[in-house]
Amino acid sequence: MRIGIVTGASSGLGRAYARQIDKTMKLDELWLVARREDRLNRLAEELNVRCRIFPLDLTRRESTEELRGALEEEQARVEILICAAGFGKFGRAEDLTAAETDDMISLNCRAAVELTRVCLPYLDRGSRVLEVCSCAGFQPLPGMNLYAATKAFLLRYTRALRWELAGRGILVSAVCPYWIKTEFMEVARNTSHPEAVRHTPFAVRPESVAAWSMSMNRLGLAVITGGPIPLAMRLGSKLLPSCVPMAVWEGMRRM
Ligand SMILES: NC(=O)c1ccc[n+]([C@@H]2O[C@H](COP(=O)([O-])OP(=O)(O)OC[C@H]3O[C@@H](n4cnc5c(N)ncnc54)[C@H](OP(=O)(O)O)[C@@H]3O)[C@@H](O)[C@H]2O)c1
């Protein structure tokens, strides 16, 4: 059975990926993963492809185990894996609670890596993996420190994974967008210091990020930025000492 797996499918970018897969790929089943079951059911009803719902909290280790069990049972071939589940919190490291800190690392880093590991035996030549990182991962970001650090981790992991899987003909990309119009901001502002980042200008639509990044992944791009701002951030982080982008960001986030 040829399947696709999308985490974070109940909202924003993950949901846009599910719709894009439905439009552009031929699969036997699309597996949708997130905590909000009602949202996943609604999406499944809307899509043409047969969907299987996994209402799972990916911060819990048992969740990836459940997915591993389903893969084994179906002996599925994973045509596309998209790890889009993730969240950020505005605020300095000291503003975040222990639970926020733990969950962010657990979801943005551990869950993405663990689900990818579980899927590895089920990927084959031509399979595709998109790990949703962020341009926040290009440089350290005071006031959004932990989130940026989790995305830097995922970006490094994804780049090396691409090399490791190249011999098997598997296309792996790190997707590093700028602000996107999703529920991300609402979640990020629900913290003790929501004003740590005052504005999120020039946000783009999740549909365009999903469509663009899936096309660029097909072309084999390692890191997909998709726009002049994240591209400039990427180049800046390569060419300048980290204190320069950090100083620019410090000014921007307070405006
Ligand atoms: N929006 C931006 O500006 C932006 C920019 C760059 C990168 N990104 C990245 O893009 C990805 C998608 O975010 P988004 O912008 O689409 O935000 P979003 O609308 O808030 O979606 C986040 C998704 O993650 C899921 N999720 C959150 N906690 C989870 C958990 N414990 N277990 C399972 N699923 C969980 C949510 O589903 P449930 O709540 O139903 O579980 C939701 O489907 C994230 O990795 C984010 O870091 C976002």
pTM, entire model: 0.97
Query: Which one of 17, 122, 147, 178 is the catalytic residue?
Result: 147
Q: Rounded to the nearest whole angstrom, what is the distance from the C-alpha of residue 122 to the centroid of ligand 1?
A: 25
The dihedral region occupied by 8, where left means phi > 0, alpha psi between -120 and 50, and beta the remainder, is left
- 3-state SS, one letter per residue, for 153-184: HHHHHHHHHHHHHHCCCCEEEEECCCCECCCH
Q: Residue-wise pLDDT tens for the chain (255 aa)?
A: 999 999 999 999 999 999 999 999 999 999 999 999 999 999 999 999 999 999 999 999 999 999 999 999 999 999 999 999 999 999 999 999 999 999 999 999 999 999 999 999 999 999 999 999 999 999 999 999 999 999 999 999 999 999 999 999 999 999 999 999 999 999 999 998 888 888 888 999 999 999 999 999 999 999 999 889 999 999 999 999 999 999 999 888 888
Rounded (10°) angle between helices 228-239 and 243-254? 140
Contact 17, 82 (CB under 8 A): yes
CA 143 / ligand 1 centre spacing (Å): 19
Cβ neighbours, 10 Å, residue 39: 17
61 Cβ closer than 6 Å to some ligand 1 atom: no
- Predicted pLDDT at 255: 80
> What pLDDT was estimated at residue 226?
84
- For 21, 26, 28, 77, the CA distances from 74, given in Å and listed in that order, are 20, 18, 12, 9
13 ligand 1 Cβ < 6 A = yes
The rounded distance, in Å, linking the Cα atoms of 253 and 191 is 16
CA of 167 to the centre of ligand 1 (A): 31
Residue 106 CA: nearest ligand 1 atom is 31
122 is catalytic: no
Task: Name which of 33, 23, 26 is nearest 1 in CA terms.
Answer: 26
C-alpha atoms less than 13 angstroms from C-alpha of 201 in its C-beta half-sphere: 6
Ligand 1 pocket, 180 CB below 6 A?
yes
Any atom of ligand 1 within 6 Å of the Cβ of 138 = no
Quick one: pLDDT at residue 132? 98
**Does ligand 1 lie within 6 Å of residue 187's CB atom?**
yes
What integer pLDDT is reported at residue 227 of this predicted model? 87
